C-alpha cells in the first residue's frame, strides 16, 4: 500500500490512524456484531458514539454552555440558505463581508430570504486581503453579520475576530475549524462542513447561541430548523451516522495529539515552510497580503503558467497530488489541513526548489 501526500482542498486527507481504526471497526464495532453504518441512530450504541462526538466537539472548541452543538446535513452551501432561513427573520436584513468565492456564494444565497447586503468587500484587492474592520459599514439593524473565516479558494484567512457589537457574528469555518483555538463566545453561529478538517463529507457541524433559536422563517424545512434540531438533539431526522462516527474518531485523534493549541503550532510551522520558501523564490509567488495568508490553503503561481502542467505531473510522480489551483483563480494550491504531516510540506518545498532550479 502506498499513500500519497494529498493536498486536496476537500474532501481532504484524514489522519491515517483514524482510517486504520475505522477499518478495524468496520465489520464489528466494539463487539456489537455490526458496522456503525448498520446501527439504528436511536439505539444505545450509536447514541453513545453520538454523545461522545458531541462532547469532544464541545471540549476541543471550548463551547460555552449557552450554545447548542448540532450535526446537520446539507453541507456548508446548505447552511448558506439554512442560516438566513433561521436568522434573517429577526429584522429582514443581514450584512455580508465578501472576501472571496465562498462568501460571494453565501451572500447570493441569503438574498433569496431577505435583504442581504455587502458590508465590506475585498474586491479592491482582487480578494487578496481581508478588508480591515475600520472599513466595514455595518447596518445596526442587520439580523447578523456573516463572514467566511478562511477562503478555501483564494487562500485568505482571518487571523483576528471581528467585533460586531450586539449584532450576532456568523462564520463559515468550513476550511479552518479546529485548526486553532477560537473564542466561540464571540460568535452567534459557527458552521463548518466536515470534509476539510474534521472527517468525511455529509455532516456539517453547527454551533448556535441559544437566543438565536426560534426565529426561523415559516418556510424553513423542519429538518433545517435549528430549534427543531436542537430540541431533538440533531435527530429530528436520521443524521449522517457514519460521517458523525468518523468525525468523532478525528476529534479523539486531535485530543490525543494535544488539542487545538497543538494543531495551531503544527499548522503554523507547516505554513511557514511554504510561505518562507515562496517569499524567497524568484519563480513562485503568492499574492495574498502577508497578514491575511491562510495557514490552511496556500495558493501560489509559477512564473510561467505554461509550466503548470509539467509542475503538476512532476508532483504526482513524486506522490504529491491535488495541487492544481481552483479553476476560477488558476495557479496552484496546497491545502495543508491538520492531517497533512510536516513531511508532506517538506517534500513539496523540496520539489518546488528542484523545479525552480531546473526552470529558472
- Residues in contact with ligand PLP by CB under 6 A are 10, 75-78, 102, 148, 152, 172, 174-175, 193, 196, 201
Residue numbers annotated as active site = 102, 172, 196
Which residues contribute to the annotated binding site for pyridoxal 5'-phosphate? Answer: 102, 152, 172, 195, 237-238
The position carrying cell 453579520 is: 145
Residue with smaller CB distance to ligand PLP, 120 or 171: 171
Residue with smaller CB distance to ligand PLP, 240 or 344: 240
Residue with smaller CB distance to ligand PLP, 102 or 136: 102
Which residues contribute to the annotated binding site for L-glutamate? Answer: 42
Helix axes 241-256 and 44-61, enclosed angle (nearest 10): 40
Residue with smaller CB distance to ligand PLP, 201 or 232: 201
Closest separation between CB of residue 11 and ligand PLP, Å? Answer: 9
Which residues contribute to the annotated binding site? Answer: 42, 102, 152, 172, 195, 237-238
Closest separation between CB of residue 302 and ligand PLP, Å? Answer: 24
Give the CB-nearest residue to ligand PLP: 75
CA dihedral 280, 285, 290, 293 (to 10 degrees): -120
Closest separation between CB of residue 172 and ligand PLP, Å? Answer: 5
Closest separation between CB of residue 153 and ligand PLP, Å? Answer: 8
Amino acid at each position: 500500500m502506498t499513500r500519497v501526500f494529498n493536498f486536496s482542498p476537500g474532501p481532504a486527507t484524514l489522519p491515517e490512524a483514524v482510517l486504520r481504526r475505522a477499518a478495524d471497526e468496520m465489520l464489528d464495532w466494539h463487539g456489537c456484531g455490526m458496522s456503525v453504518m448498520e446501527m439504528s441512530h436511536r439505539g444505545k450504541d450509536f447514541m453513545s458514539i453520538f454523545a461522545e462526538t458531541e462532547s469532544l466537539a464541545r471540549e476541543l472548541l471550548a463551547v460555552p454552555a449557552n450554545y447548542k452543538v448540532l450535526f446537520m446535513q446539507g453541507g456548508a452551501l446548505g447552511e448558506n440558505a439554512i442560516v438566513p432561513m433561521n436568522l434573517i427573520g429577526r429584522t429582514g436584513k443581514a450584512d455580508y463581508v465578501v472576501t472571496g468565492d465562498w462568501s460571494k456564494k453565501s451572500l447570493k444565497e441569503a438574498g433569496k430570504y431577505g435583504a442581504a447586503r455587502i458590508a465590506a468587500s475585498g474586491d479592491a484587492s482582487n480578494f487578496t486581503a481581508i478588508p480591515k474592520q475600520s472599513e466595514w459599514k455595518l447596518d445596526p439593524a442587520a439580523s447578523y453579520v456573516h463572514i467566511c473565516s478562511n477562503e478555501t479558494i483564494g487562500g485568505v484567512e482571518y487571523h483576528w475576530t471581528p467585533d460586531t457589537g450586539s449584532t450576532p457574528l456568523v462564520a463559515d469555518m468550513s476550511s479552518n475549524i479546529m485548526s486553532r483555538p477560537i473564542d466561540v463566545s464571540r460568535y452567534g453561529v459557527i458552521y463548518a462542513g466536515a470534509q476539510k478538517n474534521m472527517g468525511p463529507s455529509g455532516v456539517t457541524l453547527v454551533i448556535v447561541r441559544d437566543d438565536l433559536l426560534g426565529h426561523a422563517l415559516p418556510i424553513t424545512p423542519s429538518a433545517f430548523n435549528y430549534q427543531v434540531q436542537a430540541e431533538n438533539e440533531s435527530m429530528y431526522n436520521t443524521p449522517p451516522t457514519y460521517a458523525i462516527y468518523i468525525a468523532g474518531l478525528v476529534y479523539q485523534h486531535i485530543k490525543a495529539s494535544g488539542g487545538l493549541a497543538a494543531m495551531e503550532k503544527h499548522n503554523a510551522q507547516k505554513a511557514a515552510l511554504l510561505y518562507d520558501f515562496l517569499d524567497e523564490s524568484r519563480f513562485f509567488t503568492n499574492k495574498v497580503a502577508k497578514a491575511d495568508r491562510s495557514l490552511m490553503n496556500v495558493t501560489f503561481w509559477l512564473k510561467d503558467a505554461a509550466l503548470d502542467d509539467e509542475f503538476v505531473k512532476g508532483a504526482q510522480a513524486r506522490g504529491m497530488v491535488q495541487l492544481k489551483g481552483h479553476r476560477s483563480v488558476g495557479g496552484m494550491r496546497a491545502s495543508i489541513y491538520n492531517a497533512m504531516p510536516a513531511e508532506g510540506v517538506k517534500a513539496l518545498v523540496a520539489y518546488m526548489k528542484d523545479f525552480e532550479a531546473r526552470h529558472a
